[in-house]
C-alpha cells in the first residue's frame, strides 16, 4: 500500500511521476540522502519512493512523498544479505519484492525512474533491479527517463574490481540515460573510484553534495558548549567506536573533566544498546542517547566531534566547522570512508585515526589534542538537493520533446 504525509491532492497527481528506488542496507546514509532528494523532487514530480530497507523509527518521510515499503532486506556487518521479516526466507522475500516493484511500475507508468547507487553498487540486488529495468526498457510507447543516483566515492573491491566496473558500465549504457554524482567534482569525481576498460558513454552530471539540513541553517550563530560529541551514524557498525569512547571517558574524566555526549544510533542492535546503558548508568560527565532529532544542531553546539566518516556525517561536520576526529569504518569490502577521510585530512578539515589503532587509551590521547585543533573549512558546492531536482526535470522534459518530435 502507498502511504503519504498527507494524501496527495489532485494537483500533485497531475505532475509527472517519478519512481525512486532506495535500498539502505547497512547504514543510514542512503536513506537520509534519498529523503532529502525526494523532498526536493516532490516540488516538481509526483514522487513514489520505494524503500527496500527497514523503516526507521521516528523518521518521517518528507511531506507529500508517497512511500512503498518492500519486504525489508539488509546486510549483516560481514555483508551477508538477510531478510528482516521472519515470515519469509531470503529467496521468498526477494521474489515478493520483485513482483511488488513490477506491479507498481505497471500501475504508475512513471515518467522517470531514479535508482540509488545501482549499477555501481548494490550488486546483490541486481535480480530485482534488472527485472525492473527490463520492464522500463520494454515500455516503447512511454519509456521513462532512467537515472542512477550515486554518492561521492564508490567502494573499491580489491578482488575483481575491473571486472565489476566493466559489468557496471555495460549495464549503465544499456539501461540508463544519465548518472547523477552527488559530489563537488573538486573533491571527488566518478572516475576516481570507477575505472572500467572503456569510458562511460552516457552523461555524468555533478550535482554538488546533498545535505539533508541544507535549508535549516540558523540565522544567528549557535553557542557552543564544552562537551565532546561522539556519534556512529546509524550505529549498525558503531560498537567498537562507542565502547572505546565509553572507556576513554573513564580515563579522561578524573584528570581532564571532559564531558562527553554519545549518540548510539537507531540501527545499533538492542542488546548492545542495553549493555552500553548499563555500563554508563549514572556516570558523571557522560550522557548517552539512542538518537537525536537534529545531528546538524548537535555538531554546531558541541566543542568537538568524534565519529565515523560516512557521507552525511562528513557534510554536517564541514558545515558546522567543528573540530572533528574521524575513525572511518573499514573492512576488506568497505573502503569508501577511508578514502573520504584521507581526502578531508589532506584539506586540513579533520583529524583521522586509523580504525586499527582504535582503543580507549589512544582515544583518550586524541581527544585533548582534538580540542586544540583548528579545522580549515573547504568551500564545496553543497546545493546538491536543488541541482538534482533541476537536472531530473530537465532530463524528463528533453525526453518528452524527443518523444513528441519522433
What is the share, in percent, of the chain residues with pLDDT greater than 70?
Answer: 91
User: Which pLDDT does position 332 carry in this prediction?
Assistant: 65
**Average of per-residue pLDDT across 81-110:** 95
Domain holding 83, by residue range, is 10-214+383-405
Identify whether residues 282 and 311 lie together within a single domain: yes
**Average of per-residue pLDDT across 200-229:** 80
3-state helix, strand, coil split of the chain in percent (to 5) is 40, 15, 45
In this structure, are residues 366 and 338 in contact, taking their beta carbons and an 8 Å threshold? no
Please say if the pLDDT value at position 8 is more than 50.
no
Identify whether residues 265 and 197 lie together within a single domain: no
**Average of per-residue pLDDT across 39-50:** 97
**Average of per-residue pLDDT across 168-197:** 97
Residue located via cell numbers 542512503: 30
Judge whether 15 lies within some domain. yes
Identify whether residues 25 and 67 lie together within a single domain: yes
Please say if the pLDDT value at position 259 is more than 90.
yes
Please say if the pLDDT value at position 247 is more than 50.
yes
Q: Is 340 helix (H, G, I), strand (E, B) or coil?
A: helix
Judge whether 223 lies within some domain. no
Structure confidence by residue, pLDDT tens digits, 127-154: 999 999 999 999 877 899 999 999 999 9
> What span, in angstroms and rounded, lies between the C-alpha atoms of 217 and 337?
26
User: Which pLDDT does position 73 carry in this prediction?
Assistant: 92
In this structure, are residues 289 and 264 in contact, taking their beta carbons and an 8 Å threshold? yes
Lowest mean pLDDT among 240-244, 329-333, 384-388: 329-333
Residues 6+ apart with CB under 8 A from 80: none
Identify whether residues 82 and 199 lie together within a single domain: yes
Identify whether residues 199 and 237 lie together within a single domain: no
Identify whether residues 129 and 234 lie together within a single domain: no
User: Which pLDDT does position 403 carry in this prediction?
Assistant: 54
Judge whether 378 lies within some domain. no
Residues 6+ apart with CB under 8 A from 323: 303, 304, 305, 351, 370, 371, 373, 374, 375
pLDDT category, 25, cuts 50, 70, 90? confident
Pairing label, strands 228-231, 260-263: parallel
pLDDT category, 220, cuts 50, 70, 90? very low
Tally of structural domains, the chain: 2
> What span, in angstroms and rounded, lies between the C-alpha atoms of 208 and 193?
17
Judge whether 3 lies within some domain. no
Q: What is the pTM of this model?
A: 0.91
CA triplet 405, 386, 184: central angle to 5 degrees? 105
Most confident range, picked from 265-274, 286-295, 351-360: 351-360
CATH number of residue 136's parent domain: 3.40.50.2000
User: Which pLDDT does position 140 carry in this prediction?
Assistant: 72
> What span, in angstroms and rounded, lies between the C-alpha atoms of 379 and 39?
25
Amino acid at each position: 500500500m502507498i502511504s503519504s504525509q498527507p494524501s496527495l491532492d489532485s494537483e500533485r497527481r497531475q505532475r509527472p511521476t517519478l519512481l525512486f528506488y532506495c535500498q539502505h542496507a547497512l547504514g543510514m546514509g542512503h536513506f537520509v540522502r534519498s529523503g532529502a532528494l525526494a523532498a526536493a523532487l516532490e516540488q516538481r514530480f509526483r514522487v513514489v519512493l520505494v524503500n527496500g530497507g527497514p523503516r526507521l523509527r521516528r523518521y518521517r518521510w518528507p511531506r507529500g512523498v508517497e512511500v512503498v515499503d518492500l519486504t525489508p532486506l539488509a546486510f549483516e556487518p560481514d555483508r551477508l544479505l538477510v531478510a528482516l521479516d521472519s515470515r519469509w526466507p531470503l529467496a521468498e522475500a526477494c521474489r515478493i519484492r520483485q513482483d511488488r516493484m513490477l506491479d507498481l511500475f505497471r500501475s504508475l507508468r512513471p515518467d522517470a525512474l531514479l535508482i540509488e547507487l545501482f549499477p555501481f553498487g548494490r550488486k546483490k540486488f541486481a535480480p530485482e533491479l534488472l527485472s525492473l529495468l527490463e520492464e522500463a526498457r520494454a515500455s516503447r510507447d512511454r519509456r521513462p527517463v532512467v537515472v542512477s543516483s550515486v554518492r561521492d566515492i564508490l567502494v573499491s573491491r580489491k578482488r575483481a574490481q575491473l571486472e565489476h566496473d566493466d559489468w557496471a558500465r555495460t549495464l549503465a549504457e544499456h539501461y540508463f540515460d544519465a548518472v547523477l554524482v552527488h559530489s563537488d567534482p573538486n573533491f571527488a569525481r566518478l572516475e576516481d573510484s570507477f575505472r572500467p576498460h572503456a569510458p562511460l558513454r552516457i552523461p555524468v552530471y555533478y550535482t554538488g553534495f546533498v545535505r539533508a539540513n541544507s535549508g535549516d541553517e540558523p540565522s544567528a550563530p549557535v553557542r557552543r558548549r564544552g562537551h565532546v560529541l561522539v556519534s556512529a551514524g546509524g550505529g549498525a557498525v558503531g560498537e567498537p567506536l562507542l565502547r572505546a569512547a565509553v572507556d576513554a571517558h573513564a580515563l579522561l574524566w578524573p584528570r581532564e573533566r571532559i564531558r562527553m555526549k554519545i549518540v548510539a544510533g537507531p540501527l545499533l542492535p538492542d542488546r548492545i544498546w542495553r549493555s552500553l546503558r548499563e555500563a554508563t548508568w549514572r556516570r558523571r560527565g557522560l550522557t548517552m542517547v539512542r538518537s537525536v532529532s537534529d545531528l546538524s544542531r548537535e555538531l554546531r553546539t558541541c566543542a568537538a566531534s568524534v565519529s565515523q566518516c560516512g557521507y552525511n556525517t562528513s557534510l554536517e561536520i564541514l558545515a558546522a566547522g567543528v573540530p572533528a576526529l574521524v575513525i572511518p569504518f573499514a573492512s576488506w569490502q568497505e573502503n569508501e570512508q577511508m578514502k573520504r577521510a584521507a581526502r578531508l585530512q589532506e584539506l586540513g578539515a579533520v583529524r583521522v585515526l586509523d580504525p586499527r589503532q582504535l582503543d580507549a587509551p589512544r582515544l583518550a590521547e586524541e581527544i585533548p589534542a582534538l580540542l586544540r585543533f583548528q579545522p580549515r573549512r573547504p568551500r564545496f558546492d553543497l546545493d546538491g538537493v536543488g541541482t538534482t531536482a533541476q537536472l531530473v526535470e530537465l532530463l524528463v522534459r528533453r525526453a518528452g520533446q524527443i518523444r513528441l518530435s519522433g
